[in-house]
Every structure is written in C-alpha cells, then in structure tokens.
C-alpha cells in the first residue's frame, strides 16, 4: 500500500512530479493532503516520519521517504520496468541527462519561480511583467529546452519520461501568464500537459481563494 503525502492547495510542483510518477506506473495509492498554512508538515508525527517535514513524501509498506527526486528513483527501482512502465529513459546517458535536467529545474531559475509561482498555473495568472532577472531565467529555460528537445517534435527521449513532466511544469509557468514561449516549446508543453496522469493532478479540488 502506498500513501502520498501532498498538500491541500494542490500547487506544489514536487508533489506533481510524484503524483504523476505514481499514476504513470499505474500504482494504487491513497492521498493525505497536509495543510501547509496550518503547519501540519511540522506536526511531530509527520516530521519524525518524513525526516524533513516537507511534502511530498510517500509511505510504502511502513517506509516513509520524502524529497521528490529520491521518491521517483525509489519508485522506478521498486516498481521497475518492464513489469511497470518506466519513469526514466532506457539508456545510461539519457538517464544521466534526465537526472541532470530534473536536478537543475529544482535548483536554478529562482527568479522565474518567484515571479511565476505555481499559483499562476493552478489559480490565477500573474499580470506583472517579468523583471530583468526573471527574464534572464526565462531565457535560460527556453534556451536549454530548445537545445534538449528534438527539433522534429516529441519528447526529450525515446518516450515520455518524468523529466518531461518537470520541464513542462517549468514551461507552464511562462505559458499560464502569457509570457513569450517559442511555438515548438508551447506545443510540446501542451502535449505533455494533456497526459491523463497530469490532468488527474490538474483536476484535483482546490480551495477557491489562495
């Protein structure tokens, strides 16, 4: 049995990654949504079990793990291909590249994440123009995406992987608020966003006001 610990606003990009990973693997899981505004992540029971007191975390047969990258790696190795659908690409180098992109998207582009928080995707767009710093981050994201995505279209690697989900979420930060995104990237992001696993996250009930 697997439990996903998420958050009640349903706008965490890292919960999205794990939710989609579980869906793509077609695993049964239940969801426990913590209210971060009430500090439920810091309640002793959750903090002790998760170690870090952050979401996402999963519990699998009594084992609790937080940090989205660690979780998707754990899921890939526990529910491994070919029995279960893969989350990562097949070749060693492609897997390296996928992990590189995922690590990068978690640690860089801070100005863009601040200017275009995920509330702009799941609640309401931001109308303020991008600052110089946020624009520089936007340019870097677009440049990297253009270089790693095949010009002929399609996903990052031979099939859609969890790295495509993270890259798409980053591009959605721009798309949702009408910031300029090259057509090729917008089409890619729209296609990934239409996946049932992603749409299941988008369709979750959210409080009306943020």
Dist CA 78 CA 162 (whole Å): 16
CB of 6 to ligand GSH, least distance (A): 9
Query: Measured from the CB atom, is 24 or 40 closer to ligand GSH?
Result: 40
Q: Token pair for residue 186?
A: 């917008």
Joined together, the tokens standing for residue 141 give: 């994201």
CB of 70 to ligand GSH, least distance (A): 8
Q: Which residue has the tokens 């999963």?
A: 58
- Judged by beta carbon, residue 109 or residue 181, the one nearer ligand GSH is 109
Binding residues for ligand GSH restricted to 14-33, rule: CB under 6 A: 14
Which residues from 98-157 bind ligand GSH, rule CB under 6 A? Answer: 106
Quote the CA–CA distance of 118 and 28 in Å, as a whole number. 26
Phi, psi of 39 (to 5 degrees): 75, 25
Burial of 99 (0-12, 13-18, 19+ CB in 10 A): middle
Query: What track of x and - describes contact with ligand GSH for positions 43 through 72 (by CB under 6 A)?
Result: ----------xxxx----------xxx---
Which residues contribute to the site for ligand GSH (CB under 6 A)?
7, 12, 14, 36, 41, 53-56, 67-69, 106
């Amino acid at each position: 049995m697997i439990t996903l610990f998420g958050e009640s606003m349903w706008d965490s990009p890292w919960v999205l990654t794990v939710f989609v990973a579980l869906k793509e693997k077609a695993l049964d899981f239940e969801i426990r949504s913590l209210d971060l505004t009430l500090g439920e992540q810091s309640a002793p029971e959750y903090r002790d079990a998760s170690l870090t007191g952050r979401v996402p975390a999963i519990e699998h047969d009594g084992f609790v793990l937080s940090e989205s990258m660690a979780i998707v790696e754990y899921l890939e190795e526990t529910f491994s291909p070919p029995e279960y659908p893969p989350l990562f690409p097949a070749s060693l180098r492609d897997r390296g590249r996928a992990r590189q992109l995922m690590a990068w998207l978690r640690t860089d582009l801070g100005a863009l994440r601040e200017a275009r928080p995920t509330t702009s995707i799941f609640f309401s767009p931001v109308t303020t123009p991008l600052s110089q710093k946020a624009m520089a981050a936007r340019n870097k994201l677009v440049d990297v995406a253009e270089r790693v995505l095949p010009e002929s279209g399609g996903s990052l690697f031979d099939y859609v992987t969890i790295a495509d989900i993270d890259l798409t979420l980053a591009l959605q930060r721009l798309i949702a608020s009408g910031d300029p995104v090259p057509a090729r990237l917008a089409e890619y992001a729209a296609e990934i966003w239409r996946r049932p696993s992603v749409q299941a996250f988008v369709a979750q009930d959210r409080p009306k006001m943020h």
